[in-house]
């Protein structure tokens, strides 16, 4: 692993951050708030997607099957390698798809101890990218008239503070005021005492309720895993079936995502997979990051359990950006126009923000995810029909980090960033507008 400047107090729980919001890992003493979370002004609709209809139309054309031009591949490869070298991850896998073709490549090691090289096709946990799958199923149910996005949550899940005023749309766009259960100190303490423990959705909701509300409904943006867990329970209540069955039937099978899976209560990852490394937990040190591959993901449920590969995520990324195969045109348009701008105070229409279980920045729609040992990004550029996916088998930040735990040596970069995010940013400007997440601290 590339080394960083050591920081004390690395007992963090990375739960999957949306990159635009500036959300970072919550600590046992509470969540690190994004700048947007400090304002009480209502959020404004963003103009991030310039032409939703053009994005939807792009999905009517088949995905490319050939390879990207060699000169573009060389440029992308050099940028990815440089960004990887600055990151704190043993390995990474990169995928790019444009109307000209597709390119994938692996860097570094999947298992440093065994010396196993990272390879395209390896599975990793994709953390909060799961939220886009959950949100898509919610929108499908609304499309079918089985629920309304304006329904209040108390119609489906009881006991949620302000549940008679919080809408399903507010849960999806993170303006419900429901706190994240990773702000619950008792939950964090219990989790780190036994990362192999299995949690039920009801336990996660209970941990969420204990620290909620954190704001009034619609008051401000507040990134919350608890909100997406409640949406998962809503989906099961409406359909009468396990979430895993809905995921298979509604997304994985229609899009032929044969290498994407839902682990449920299991900590197993399908072969082949990359081992994940983290500074989270009580035992990790900058000199010896913890191998968290086998930590049970049930605590993340519909907010972060999905496992996938680069090829599958390239397919899913384009579907999320265009709606093709998963949403009708009207519902996709609603999604692409739903983004709220949390970057200004008072908020105003701008370059990016968070929408219905998906984010947007500089025209790129998608999500980032962090879960102990893994960091992933999946974004689609609505202006150029381009999808970029990055998987990294570490969630450890690098660069000029003052608060995020890092390794020992200075990488020569003053920007603090997670490994997959760093690579995506480097590639985005070569393929469209440069994606500009706020630096981690």
Q: What is the tens place of the pLDDT at every residue in 152-192?
A: 999 999 999 999 999 999 999 999 999 999 999 999 999 99
The number of helices, as runs of H, and strands, as runs of E, in the chain is 12, 14
Does residue 27 lie in a domain region? no
Cα separation of the two ends of the chain? 21
- Count: domains in the chain: 1
Does residue 29 lie in a domain region? no
Rounded to an integer, the average pLDDT of 304-325 is 98
Exposed/middle/buried for 327, CB within 10 Å: 0-12, 13-18, 19+? buried
Residue 31 pLDDT greater than 80, yes or no? no
Q: What is the tens place of the pLDDT at every residue in 193-236?
A: 999 999 999 999 999 999 999 999 999 999 999 999 999 999 99
Residue 61 to residues 51, 142, 319: CA-CA distances in angstroms? 17, 26, 12
Residues contacting residue 178 through CB under 8 Å, at least 6 positions apart = 160, 161, 166, 171, 208, 212, 213, 214, 222, 224, 226, 227, 230
Q: What is the pLDDT of residue 1?
A: 66
Rounded to an integer, the average pLDDT of 22-36 is 31
Q: Range with the lowest mean pLDDT among 178-192, 235-249, 345-359, 374-388?
A: 345-359
Please check whether residue 316 is in contact with residue 260, taking contact to mean a CB–CB distance below 8 angstroms: yes
Does residue 123 lie in a domain region? yes
CATH value at residue 79: 3.40.710.10
For residues 400 and 420, what is the distance between their CA atoms, to the nearest angstrom?
16
Does residue 413 lie in a domain region? yes
Q: What is the pLDDT of residue 51?
A: 95
Q: What is the pLDDT of residue 349?
A: 39
Rounded to an integer, the average pLDDT of 336-347 is 71
Does residue 98 lie in a domain region? yes
* Percent of the chain scoring above 90 in pLDDT: 79
β partners of residue 360: 353, 365
The domain in which residue 108 lies consists of 56-431
For residues 177 and 358, what is the distance between their CA atoms, to the nearest angstrom?
17
> Confidence band (pLDDT; 50, 70, 90) for 16?
very low
Residue 412 pLDDT greater than 80, yes or no? no
Q: Range with the lowest mean pLDDT among 150-164, 210-224, 347-361, 397-411?
A: 347-361
Residue 46 pLDDT greater than 70, yes or no? yes
Residue 279 to residues 14, 177, 372, 398: CA-CA distances in angstroms? 10, 29, 8, 12
Does residue 23 lie in a domain region? no
Does residue 170 lie in a domain region? yes
Does residue 11 lie in a domain region? no
For residues 332 and 347, what is the distance between their CA atoms, to the nearest angstrom?
24
Please check whether residue 167 is in contact with residue 152, taking contact to mean a CB–CB distance below 8 angstroms: yes
DSSP for residue 116:
E
Q: What is the pLDDT of residue 45?
A: 75
């Amino acid at each position: 692993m590339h080394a960083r400047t050591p920081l004390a107090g690395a007992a963090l729980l990375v739960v999957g951050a949306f990159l635009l919001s500036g959300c970072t890992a919550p600590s046992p003493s509470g969540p690190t708030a994004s700048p947007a979370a400090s304002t009480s002004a209502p959020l404004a609709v963003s103009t991030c997607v310039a032409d939703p209809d053009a994005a939807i139309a792009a999905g009517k054309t088949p995905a490319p099957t050939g390879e990207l031009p060699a000169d573009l591949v060389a440029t992308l490869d050099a940028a990815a390698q440089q960004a990887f070298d600055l990151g704190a991850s043993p390995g990474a896998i990169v995928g790019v798809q444009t109307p000209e073709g597709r390119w994938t490549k692996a860097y570094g090691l999947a298992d440093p101890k065994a010396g196993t090289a990272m390879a395209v096709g390896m599975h990793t946990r994709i953390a909060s990218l799961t939220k886009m799958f959950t949100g898509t199923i919610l929108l499908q149910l609304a499309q079918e008239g089985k629920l309304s996005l304006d329904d209040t949550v108390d119609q489906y899940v009881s006991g949620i503070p302000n549940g008679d005023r919080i809408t399903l749309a507010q849960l999806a766009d993170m303006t419900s005021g429901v706190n994240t259960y990773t702000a619950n100190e008792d939950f964090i303490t219990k989790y780190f005492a036994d990362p192999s423990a299995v949690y039920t959705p009801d336990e996660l909701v209970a941990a969420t309720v204990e620290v909620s509300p954190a704001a009034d409904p619609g008051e401000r943006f507040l990134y919350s895993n608890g909100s997406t867990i409640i949406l998962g329970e809503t989906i099961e209540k409406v359909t009468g079936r396990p979430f895993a069955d809905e995921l298979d039937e509604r997304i994985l099978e229609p899009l032929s995502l044969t290498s994407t899976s839902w682990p449920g209560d299991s900590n197993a990852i399908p072969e082949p997979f990359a081992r994940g490394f983290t500074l989270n937990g009580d035992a990790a040190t900058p000199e010896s990051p913890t191998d968290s591959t086998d930590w049970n993901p049930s605590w993340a449920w519909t907010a972060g359990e999905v496992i996938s590969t680069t090829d599958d995520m390239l397919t899913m990324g384009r579907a999320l950006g265009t709606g093709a195969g998963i949403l009708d045109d009207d519902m996709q348009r609603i999604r692409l126009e739903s983004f709220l701008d949390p970057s200004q105070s008072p908020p105003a229409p701008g370059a990016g923000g968070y929408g219905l279980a998906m984010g947007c920045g500089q025209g790129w729609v998608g999500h980032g995810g962090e879960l102990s040992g893994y960091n992933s990004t999946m974004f689609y550029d609505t202006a150029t029909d381009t999808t970029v996916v990055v998987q990294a088998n570490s969630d450890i930040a690098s660069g000029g980090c003052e608060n995020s735990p890092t390794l020992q040596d200075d990488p020569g970069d003053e920007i603090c960033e997670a490994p997959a995010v760093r690579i995506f940013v480097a590639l985005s400007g070569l393929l469209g507008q440069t994606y500009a997440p706020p630096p981690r601290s």
